[in-house]
Structures are given as structure tokens and as C-alpha cells.
Chain A
Amino acid sequence: MKEKPYRSVPLKPGEITPKHLYSTRRQFMKQIGVVGLGALLASCAPANSGDPGALGMVLPGASGEDPADVLTAYEAVTGYCNFYEFTTNKETVDELAQDFVTQPWSVQVDGLVDRPKAYSMEDILAKFTQEERIYRMRCVEGWSMVIPWTGFPLRQLLEEVQPTSDARYVAFETALVPDQMDGARSRMFPFPYTEGLRLDEALHDLTILATGLYDEPLPPQNGAPIRLVVPWKYGFKSIKSIVRISLVAEQPPTLWNTIAPNEYGFYANVNPAVDHPRWSQATERRIGESGRRDTLLMNGYAEEVMPLYEGMDLTVDF
């Protein structure tokens, strides 16, 4: 059995930094200690990557000059969101999503499974231990963040419902509530938002269902109350506000792939060598920092996930 490539960090009361201290990155770094962050992220790194960065962290693909991966400020994580059901303006989603009802909530898990079930959030939080996962998030638009999610591996949920041997893919669907979502009836997007993963991608340890960030429940604009986070893929794969998870035999349709299949692939793996047809994916802008940084293969998780794609041509299956 492959050794786990990172440590899950269960939250201890002493480690929880009061939220008001999150408001500036510098203050946060002082409180929790950059080395602590570095250890969490460095344990995602392959042992033989580049030179250590300035703070002693070894990041995959990093040269000694690349800046470290610092947590993106809470305000930015919750204030800059793509959630087109509300609006295409990233900075007003928080306001517009305020009245989004996330309680009660039900996640229907069905399809090719032996034990389909509708989970309430209480079921989920009771059954599955939530842990902190600090991940990079890279949007296809060319910006990125580092976000401390709270969640659990999707694998644990799937193991409970027991996929049959015919199941090859996992399909996801977002809630669509026109009364609460101003943009839900837009003719320019074939809502409801759908996404999908190959079963082995869904079962991978890095793939989580997130229920919180920065030690708090997910705010509506970030996909409350439960969303997917697949850190080695472009952000649009990390579907928000999930109401349905289905095990299926055929590759399921996904919203962006339906809109523009030659631009937004099913796999959507972060890859600086595979450009978007109209713009380059070689660099990205880290929110909160100036300048640009080189984009990393698989968003820096190459060692953990490349085995999933052995034998595949990533320029064809993008």
C-alpha cells in the first residue's frame, strides 16, 4: 500500500487562531508560525524536488527563488469567488449569496451503488471525521490561492454506499434555486452546474468533500454546505453546493465541457504545457501577491496523482 503522501492534521483547540487574526496574512503568519505551514505543505512535496525556498520549505517544482505558498487571506478566499448561478462578478457573490438557504440540506448519493442514501449534513458531520487540508487552488482563468479547507476524503463516502463493479465515474450536481440565485435562469449557462470525476480520481486521498474553510463552516459563496475539492485540477472541477452524487458507467457531462469541449476538458488537470486554446496556462497570479509565478504540473501534486494518468496523452485528454 502506497505510503500516504501528506499528514492529515486533526484540529486541536490550541491551534485554532481567532478569526480576527486572519485578516492580515502577516499577522496570521506570526501566530501560527510559517514553519508549521511549511511542514504541512512540504509534506505534499516529492523528496527530490528543487532547492529549498527561502523559508526552508521544499515545494514541488520550485527553484530556490520561488516564493513560498502562503495561506490566502480569509477575506480574499470568501470575497473573490466564481459562482455564476449568483453573478459573474467575483466580488459581489458574497453579498448576493447571503440568503442562500443551506439548512436543511440533503445530498442524494445514488446510481450504480448497492446502498444509495440521502445524507443530511448532520449525517455527514457525524459519520465522517473532518480534518484540515491546506491545498493550492488554481483557477482556469489564471489566478490561484492557498486555502485551508476542512473536509474528509470522498473515498470514505463512496465506500459507505458501495459502488457496483459497473461504476466507472462519479457525477456531481449543484443546487439550482432560481428564487435565491439571480443568475440561475441565465440562457448563457446550461444550469444546473454538473461535474464529474473518473472513479480512481474520486477515490484518491487528495480528493475531499469540504464542509468548511479556516475552521468555519463554508460560507454560501464558497459552496456551502458541502463541496468538492480536487486540488490538482482547475477550480471549475471543484463543484460547489452539492445536492447529488451519482455513480455512473459512462463519462458524465460537465457544464464547462458542454459549453466549450475544445477548451474545457473533462480531466482539466492543471498543466502549464497544455494551453487553453485562446490563452496560455504557463503562469498564474497568486491572489494577495504581485507578479506572476510559473504554474506547476498538476498544481504541484504531480507525484501524488501522475500514476492515475499513466499511458495517457495529456494533450489529448485534457
Chain B
Amino acid sequence: MTDRSHRSIHSQWGRTIAHLLGGVPLILLGWQLVQGRLGFNPVESVLRWTGRLALGLLLLSLSVTPIRKIFKISAISAMRKPLGLYAALYAFIHFSVFALWDYQLNIRQIYLEISNKPFILLGMIALLILLVLAATSFRFWQRKLGRKWVWLHRSVYAAALLVILHYLLAVKGDLFSLQGAYTAPLIAAGILLLLLILRIPAIQQCLRPTFTQQEPDQPASD
């Protein structure tokens, strides 16, 4: 049995909040599904909501470390893994709705959708990355892979980028002239850009006066 006595009360709170953020929408979606209250295009509604939840939770998970460093709340690191796992869960449900509920495992139609169009393929690759990361999120794998684990889990940024591209390709309009239904994906892209900028060591050097503890980048302890 793993010794969890070192977990602070704040970490517990952080974890609880993460589970609420991730779990409550799932319960709400399930409830609406059972009640038949998903609107006139329920497949579209669920795809849209699971997609937004997956992306939102992924971005939240990616913001844990920058927030920890800037606001010096070490307990927040406990949220990173559960948020990431929920993101992977919603991404998996999102894909399952597409393949099972929408296309009813009709391989011919699914193939028609993804052949020579990157939109869905990009999403599928992002999902694959998230599933691999979810599967290797346990301490067993951290020990087994050592430094390679950190390297592997940095691919979460690639996944986030792919998800945003997938979203941008899904909406109607012209990206280059910013005409069309681009509000939501652009906000997500902006947030990801900010989070990426906050990872750059030079930027962190500039923000260093606001840190009181200079903590090396470490994987979450649980």
C-alpha cells in the first residue's frame, strides 16, 4: 500500500476540486442524455460538449504548473494528473460518440470522412497521445521510464496543439481573414499560446522576481 501520509490537506482539496471539475459535467451530460434533453441534434451537442470539456480540462491541466510557479501554491500540483485524466476521458467519449453513435461503426462512411481530410485524423492522433499519457500516468511507469517519462509526458503540448487545429478545422469560416465562427477556438489557441510562452525559461527568468521558491520542474508527486 503506498504511503500517502505526506499529502497535505491542501493537496486533498486540490484533488477534490479537480474531480468536481471533471466529474460533474459528466454526470450532467449523462443526466441530460437519460432525460432526452440534449436538444434537436443530440449527437452534435454531445460532440460539442465533450470536445470543449476535453480541451478545457487539458488547458486547465497545462496551467497548473505555471500557476504553481507564479502564485507559489505548491498544493495545486495535485490537480494536474486528475485534470489531465479527465481530459483524456472526455476525448475518448468524444471519439466514441463520433464512431459509435454518429457513424454506428460504419467503416465505409468513417473511412470516407477521414480519408484525405486532416480534420478528424488530427483529433484521432491527439486522442492517441492522451490515451498513452493516461495509461502511463501511474507511478509504476514513472519509475520504469525514469527521465524518459518526463520527455514522454511533454507530448501533452503536441496533443493540445493538435486538438486546437482539429477545432479550428471544424468550424465554418476562413481562418486567415478571421471571418466565421472562430470565437471559441481562437480563445483556446490564445490560452495555449500563453501557456507555452510561460514554459520558456527566458520568460520565467523575467518573472522570477515574483517567485519566492525556485523549484525545479518535477512531475507531480502522486
Interface residues of A, Cβ cutoff 8 Å to B: 75-76, 79-80, 84, 88, 90-91, 140-141, 143, 188-190, 256, 259-260, 263, 275, 278-280, 282-283, 285, 287-288, 290-292
Residue of B nearest to A186 (CB): B183
Q: Are B119 and A278 in contact (CB under 8 A)?
A: yes
Given contacts A188-B173, A278-B169, A285-B102, A292 and B178 within 8 Å (CB-CB): no
Which residues from A are CB-within-8-Å of B39?
Answer: 79-80, 91
B40 at the A interface (CB under 8 A): yes
Chain A to chain B contacts (Cβ below 8 Å), 5 pairs = A80-B41, A260-B180, A263-B174, A278-B169, A282-B109
Which residues from B are CB-within-8-Å of A91?
Answer: 39-40
Within the complex, the shortest CB–CB distance from A101 to chain B, in Å, comes to: 26
B17 at the A interface (CB under 8 A): no
B180-195 interface (Cβ within 8 A of A):
180-183
Within the complex, the shortest CB–CB distance from B119 to chain A, in Å, comes to: 5
Q: Write the B32-51 contact mask toward A (1 if CB under 8 angstroms, else 0).
A: 00000001110110000000
B142 at the A interface (CB under 8 A): no
**A-B contacts, CB under 8 A, total:** 77
B144 at the A interface (CB under 8 A): no
Q: Are B179 and A88 in contact (CB under 8 A)?
A: no
Given contacts A188-B179, A278-B119, A141 and B43 within 8 Å (CB-CB): no
B103 at the A interface (CB under 8 A): yes
A80 to B113, CA, bound (A): 24
Given contacts A263-B174, A278-B119, A79 and B181 within 8 Å (CB-CB): no
Given contacts A188-B183, A260-B173, A283 and B112 within 8 Å (CB-CB): yes
A76 to B39, CA, bound (A): 9
B117 at the A interface (CB under 8 A): yes
Residue of A nearest to B177 (CB): A259
Given contacts A80-B39, A279-B113, A189 and B180 within 8 Å (CB-CB): yes
Given contacts A143-B44, A291-B104, A260 and B174 within 8 Å (CB-CB): yes
Within the complex, the shortest CB–CB distance from A271 to chain B, in Å, comes to: 14
B172 at the A interface (CB under 8 A): yes
Within the complex, the shortest CB–CB distance from A59 to chain B, in Å, comes to: 19
Q: Are A188 and B180 in contact (CB under 8 A)?
A: yes
Within the complex, the shortest CB–CB distance from A96 to chain B, in Å, comes to: 16
A78 to B179, CA, bound (A): 27
Which residues from B are CB-within-8-Å of A260?
Answer: 172-174, 179-180
Which residues from B are CB-within-8-Å of A80?
Answer: 39-41
Given contacts A259-B174, A279-B119, A292-B102, A287 and B41 within 8 Å (CB-CB): yes
Give the 3 A-B CB pairs with smallest separation, nearest first.
Answer: A80-B40, A260-B174, A259-B179
Q: Are B103 and A292 in contact (CB under 8 A)?
A: yes
Within the complex, the shortest CB–CB distance from A283 to chain B, in Å, comes to: 5
Residue from the list A75, A143, A280 in contact with B113, Cβ < 8 A: A280
Residue of A nearest to B186 (CB): A188
Given contacts A280-B112, A287-B41, A188 and B102 within 8 Å (CB-CB): no
Q: Are A259 and B117 in contact (CB under 8 A)?
A: no
Residue of B nearest to A82 (CB): B172
A88 to B183, CA, bound (A): 10
Which residues from A are CB-within-8-Å of B117?
Answer: 275, 278-280
Q: Are A190 and B169 in contact (CB under 8 A)?
A: no
Which residues from B are CB-within-8-Å of A79?
Answer: 39-40
Which residues from A are CB-within-8-Å of B112?
Answer: 280, 282-283
Q: Are B44 and A188 in contact (CB under 8 A)?
A: no
Within the complex, the shortest CB–CB distance from B101 to chain A, in Å, comes to: 8
Task: Kindly list 9 other residue pairs between chains A and B, CB separation below 8 angstroms, not including A75-B40, A278-B118, A292-B109.
Answer: A90-B41, A188-B180, A260-B174, A285-B41, A285-B44, A287-B40, A287-B41, A288-B40, A292-B103
A80 to B180, CA, bound (A): 19
Q: Are B41 and A143 in contact (CB under 8 A)?
A: yes
Within the complex, the shortest CB–CB distance from A295 to chain B, in Å, comes to: 11
Q: Are B40 and A188 in contact (CB under 8 A)?
A: no
Which residues from B are CB-within-8-Å of A283?
Answer: 109, 112-113
Residue from the list A188, A278, A282 in contact with B182, Cβ < 8 A: A188
Residue of A nearest to B181 (CB): A88
B60-110 interface (Cβ within 8 A of A):
101-104, 106, 109
Which residues from A are CB-within-8-Å of B172?
Answer: 140-141, 256, 260, 263
A7 to B170, CA, bound (A): 40
Interface centre among A76, A259, A280, A292 (most CB of B within 10 A): A280
A257 to B171, CA, bound (A): 15
A90 to B48, CA, bound (A): 13
Which residues from B are CB-within-8-Å of A143?
Answer: 41, 44
